[in-house]
Amino acid sequence: MKININNETRISEALRAAQGMARARIATSSCVVEIAKELESRLDSLGIPKCHRKGAHGSGWAHIPRYEAPVTNKWGYATTRIHIARGAKDWFLVNVERQKLYRGTSLDEKLIIFQKQLTHAIRTLLRIHKCIVTDE
């Protein structure tokens, strides 16, 4: 599946298919857009130019208030996990799945970048902190 996040109708269909009859901790198309905005802002803060952002991908959870996280190791609950990938200009929904969430599971969005993107991020960090790298 590869659905542009601007296509709200197809995203809603994909979410409905993955979530089935679930009524609690479900994702909406606005969840997908919020995750994309958060990951895009992380790419901005890393200093990765827009022309080199293609291929970055990440994941996030449906809206879950922090106080609602599981409190025991024995019982978890099902929630929706959203996987998105960055194209040349936009983000795309690539996978939606229901997963069990247990105590200690990080609810933060994950961002995965490639080596070329990491090189840009390191250059930006060095420039911001006025660092010079030597061989010694």
Residue by residue, pLDDT tens for the chain (136 residues) are: 899 999 999 999 999 999 988 888 888 899 999 999 999 999 998 888 899 999 999 998 887 665 566 666 667 778 889 999 999 999 999 999 998 877 767 767 788 888 888 888 888 888 877 777 777 6
Residue 107 lies in a domain: yes
Q: Is residue 8 part of a domain?
A: yes
pLDDT, position 41: 92
Query: Which pLDDT does position 111 carry in this prediction?
Result: 85
Instruction: Judge whether 136 lies within some domain.
Output: no
pLDDT at 136: 67
122: left (phi over 0), alpha (psi -120 to 50) or beta: alpha
Angstrom distance (rounded) from CA 41 to CA 37: 6
Q: Is residue 117 part of a domain?
A: yes
pLDDT score of 40: 93
Q: Is residue 73 part of a domain?
A: yes
- Dist. CA 23–CA 117, nearest whole Å: 39
User: How many Cβ atoms are within 10 Å of 92's Cβ, its own excluded?
Assistant: 20
37 domain residue, yes or no: yes
Number of structural domains found in the chain: 1
Strands (E), the chain: 3-4, 57-61, 77-86, 91-101, 110-112
Which pLDDT value is given to residue 64?
A: 66
Q: For residue 90, is it within any domain? A: yes
**Enclosing domain of residue 60:** 3-128
* 135 within a domain of the structure (yes/no): no
